[in-house]
Structure 1
């Protein structure tokens, strides 16, 4: 018997970042949108915990117990007094270290798959609690759709979305470490007061109304200057997307993937074609959202 779970990538349409807290984390106002790029996690009984990965980004995925999918299995097993003897296979299609929550998706997917395989009967609240232990983005990977995350981003409120938004994602050559980007944010913020992070009322209204133009005027990412400081070449990709007719362009999360909002599916394909021809990125993907979170197939 095996259980297969599909789990989506995300884009941050707003990422407001507060100053560093005593615990080293930052308070966030993080507006997530799940988009239709997916990893698939298959969990099968085995003699010991093992992780395998296939797909275009497989070589970049750790296969030891630092992998969030392995950590998810271990955490749930420890809570239930079970032996975490499963084989976890990750069919990876979400970019690694790209600011699209690929690792978080795998953690949420493995948690849901192990819960179903073992019949633990964990409540939604317990699963979300485990997700929050695993990482700040993992709870959203479980729930999907659109949500506002506060605290470290793990305390979620579902958001109403009145339509489908079309996105183009440009993958950079190389990755960016999320902790490194936050450290650069802190360095760049030295000597100035960092305001409390709050969600943009205009952005939330644009999502609720399904208004791409209004959303384009409201998207923001407080980590973008830090990502550009560490990875200056991203500015060329952002400019290429803007010149191709994107309504808005921004670094996705901590980067280095860049995200471009398009008016509709046809416009997204035109932006994608221009980005592929620009020579400023390694690969380009088109996806729409919101989509559902982790789902047993």
Structure 2
């Protein structure tokens, strides 16, 4: 029997799509993707304390945009884990929401995955990995890769995940213009019909700098500020490349050094104090 002390803390790091190629749309409606996913050093923080029943408390700089109703992904993950694996204890979960909402960095998915990891650690017996991944897939397309929590190549509708052992840590700056962008609207703007093919997939071993995000154009049509964020990043020194993550509106820049990233973050913060900006490490 495993023994894990409470309060128990689990981090939910930001998911970054270093590349996101849209290959087409399946007849069932899902889009076929080919993506390089990595995780940043900035994260939401979940704390678990034993309680008579499940309860979710939300704090942090982005708490105002969320509610603790039963359809919150954290509570759905907790109850799903309890039903699937016979979790004996229940917990008061405090979610410190540090990541912007609906921003293309997997905040809700990362929180759900962190909940599954935490409950697995707190359980007397570890859940079978394949069954845990299956539960993650029922919660959202990005939850399985967030459950892995390591640099991966993600394909299909998020179900094919291969860990990338050789992706080195990268100094980065994340920027969100504090505008929410709905993923469904971005894919709808892409306007692919079921069965239609779109763009080419990733080349094996490709440098992320040479790749792209096929959702950038439709996202910018919905939220033009994304183009301003990318322009601000592209004007900085020491930048290797800049790109939008996921369906937006968060963008990232990869820099030659941590110092260059920090300098860029400070410079852009001075020019755009209303934006959310974080210097971090991705990978």
**TM-score higher than 0.5:** yes
SS in 1 for 2:20: strand
1:222 is paired with a residue whose SS is coil
2:258 aligned with 1:255: no
Long gaps (5+) in structure 2? 1-5
Determine helix, strand or coil for the equivalent of 1:126. helix
1:243 aligns with 2:249: no
Q: Of 220, 227, 245, which residue of structure 1 is paired with 2:219?
A: 227
- Per-residue CA deviations over 1:198-238 (Å, capped at 9, x if unaligned) read 2233xx343xxxxxxxx43x131000001100001211111
In the TM superposition, what whole-angstrom CA distance separates every residue of 1:10-59 from its partner, at most 9, and x where no partner exists? 21111011333232210110110111111221222222221111111111
Instruction: Summarize the alignment of residues 257-276 of structure 1 with structure 2, pairs less than 5 Å apart.
Output: 257-276=250-269
Instruction: Report 1:1-297 matches (<5 A).
Output: 1-82=6-87, 85-186=90-191, 189=192, 194-195=197-198, 198-201=201-204, 204-206=205-207, 215-216=208-209, 218-245=210-237, 246-279=239-272, 282-290=275-283
Aligned to 1:122, what secondary structure does the other structure show? coil
Q: Is the 8 A contact 1:14 1:221 kept in 2?
A: yes
Aligned residues: 276
Give the alignment's Cα RMSD to 1 decimal: 2.1
Contact 1:74 1:84 in 2 (8 A): no
Contact 1:241 1:274 in 2 (8 A): no
Select between 276-285 and 238-247 the one with higher mean Cα deviation.
276-285
Q: 2:261–2:279: 8 Å Cα contact kept in structure 1?
A: yes
Superimposed CA distance per residue, residues 233-282 of structure 1 (whole angstroms, 9 cap, x where no aligned partner): 21111111101132211111111111111111111112212221232851
Output one character per residue of 1:170-197: Cα deviation in whole Å (capped at 9) or x when no partner. Answer: 11122111111111112xx57xx63365
Q: Which runs of 5 or more structure 1 residues have no equivalent in the other structure?
A: 207-214, 291-297
SS at match of 2:102: coil
- The answer (yes or no) to whether the contact 2:24–2:31 under 8 Å persists in 1 is yes
- SS of alignment partner, residue 48 of structure 1: coil
Distance across 2 between alignment mates of 1:205 and 1:21: 25
Give me the whole-angstrom Cα distance separating, in 2, the residues matched to 1:239 and 1:54: 32
> Given that residues 154 and 162 in structure 2 are in contact (C-alpha distance below 8 angstroms), is that contact kept between their aligned partners in structure 1?
yes
What is the rounded CA distance, in whole Å, between the counterparts of 1:41 and 1:79 in structure 2? 21
